[in-house]
Amino acid sequence: MRDPIYLDYNATAPIRPEVRDAVIAAFEVSGNPSSVHGFGRRARRVVEDARAEVAVLCGVAPARVVFTSGGTEANTAALRATGRTSVLVSEIEHDSVLETVPDAPRIPVTAGGLVDLEALERLLNAAEGPALVSVMRVNNETGAIQPLADVVRVAHAHGALVHSDAVQAAGRIPLDMDALGIDLMTLSAHKLGGPQGVGALIVRDGIPIVPVLRGGGQEHRRRAGTENVAGIAGFGAAARLAREGLDALGTLAELRDDMERRLIRAAQEAGKPALVYGHASPRVANTTCIAMPGATSETQIMTLDLAGIAVSAGSACSSGKVKPSHVLTAMGVPAAEAGSAIRISLGWATTAGDIDRLVEAWAALRRRTPSPGT
């Protein structure tokens, strides 16, 4: 039996060996990082060393990094902590944003999956009072890189703050929070090859934060609760490795682009369509969203899984079920077409051999699946 292949890095990247070592080493540290004795000081040093690594990844001072239980908590905190009652979010945000502010006006996107800046301007003109605008840096399904500098320019002209969910951007493009002008930013360790259950909210200097979790003075009174020392240690190691790996992204992009060309060619040879979404927009190097009209997303995922290959249909859902993509719907993709899309996401351990097996299995399914209407 051949080894399984993991191509779902946008859901969770496999933990890196160096991260595992950092987590294990941190488990040997016994103290509470809030304690003043020697044990506590050693635990505090682990936390602060990791905070420094995360800060360097984002181009900010360590004091601006607030550790959380993950990206979902960081997004929730960002949307609630500033006290702004007028909130605008893009239509393609992660559910942890959309469901935190379900009644917030939605900023539409173009057919290429990028935020419509003219629509943002109109919504800000209609907003009651200073707003908070939330636009992700990189879309988790298409890999499209959002025009954050332009979003910030438009928003700040209206006195609005800007939050960006950068979970899918960290380690995949250079991430300089101050150069972009972002006010609040979300990160998650497990997208970088770090442990699950730890993330961060990065806060621009001068923005007062009302903590969502109360009851302690941790994180400079911005997030109560004893810090997850081992998880944070792993986050720090993952952040360092992600920063060091930025130079290798060109190679990953070549692997992804070659994969897309081969998938499209295989479909053409079978006389059937294959559609890649967001390909005309700036994208991160590792992500492909491709549709096989005539085969549902679920059928493709199950077939590839039987071949030992893990892909997804977009955001990982807690129920494990495939659900329609709100991202593709927002881009104007017809429902039946969107229902035949899968996401393939590569990462630090992906090889050319992995891509060969994916193309082989996908092409075999494409050949035996009839096109719609045939």
User: What confidence tens digit (pLDDT) does each residue in 92-135 have?
Assistant: 999 999 999 999 999 999 999 999 999 999 999 999 989 999 99
Are 201 and 298 members of one domain? Answer: no
What confidence score (pLDDT) does residue 1 get? 66
CATH number of 217's domain: 3.40.640.10
Are 229 and 195 members of one domain? Answer: yes
What is the C-alpha separation between 204 and 57, in angstroms, rounded?
Answer: 15
Q: Among 245, 271, 291, give the residue marking a domain's end.
A: 245
Tokens 């092409």 — which residue?
363
Alpha-carbon distances of 199 from 19, 191, 255, 321, 374, rounded to whole Å: 15, 10, 29, 25, 48
Say if residue 42's pLDDT is above 50. Answer: yes
Are 217 and 359 members of one domain? Answer: no
pLDDT tens profile 158-167: 999 999 999 9
CATH number of 309's domain: 3.90.1150.10
For residues 60-86, give the mean pLDDT.
95
Question: Number of folded domains in the chain?
Answer: 2
Position 60 in a domain: yes
Q: Among 221, 245, 269, give the residue marking a domain's end.
A: 245
What is the C-alpha separation between 4 and 116, in angstroms, rounded?
Answer: 40
Q: What angle do CA 107, 110, 114 make, to 5 degrees?
A: 75
What is the C-alpha separation between 29 and 38, in angstroms, rounded?
Answer: 11
Residue 372: pLDDT band (50, 70, 90) is confident
Are 180 and 313 members of one domain? Answer: no
Position 87 in a domain: yes
**Active-site annotation holder among 317, 335, 349, 352:** 317
Examine the residue annotation and report whether 289 is marked as an active-site residue of this protein.
Answer: no
Position 97 in a domain: yes
In sequence order, the β-bridge partners of residue 160 are none
Per DSSP, the three-state class of 6 is strand
Position 147 in a domain: yes
Are 240 and 260 members of one domain? Answer: no
Say if residue 14's pLDDT is above 80. Answer: yes
Give the range of the structural domain holding residue 355, as residue numbers without chain letter: 5-13+248-368
Average pLDDT of the chain?
94
Alpha-carbon distances of 211 from 25, 84, 135, 215, 224, rounded to whole Å: 30, 14, 21, 10, 8
Are 225 and 302 members of one domain? Answer: no
In sequence order, the β-bridge partners of residue 341 are 291
Position 373 in a domain: no
Percent of the chain residues topping a pLDDT of 90 = 88
Are 256 and 154 members of one domain? Answer: no
Alpha-carbon distances of 217 from 92, 214, 221, rounded to whole Å: 35, 8, 4
Are 255 and 225 members of one domain? Answer: no
Say if residue 224's pLDDT is above 90. Answer: no
Are 144 and 292 members of one domain? Answer: no
Are 327 and 341 members of one domain? Answer: yes
Are 268 and 207 members of one domain? Answer: no
Position 374 in a domain: no
Say if residue 70's pLDDT is above 50. Answer: yes
Are 233 and 282 members of one domain? Answer: no
Say if residue 369's pLDDT is above 90. Answer: no
Per DSSP, the three-state class of 233 is helix
Which residues are CB-contacts of 299 (< 8 A; sequence separation ≥ 6)? 369
Q: Among 227, 245, 263, give the residue marking a domain's end.
A: 245
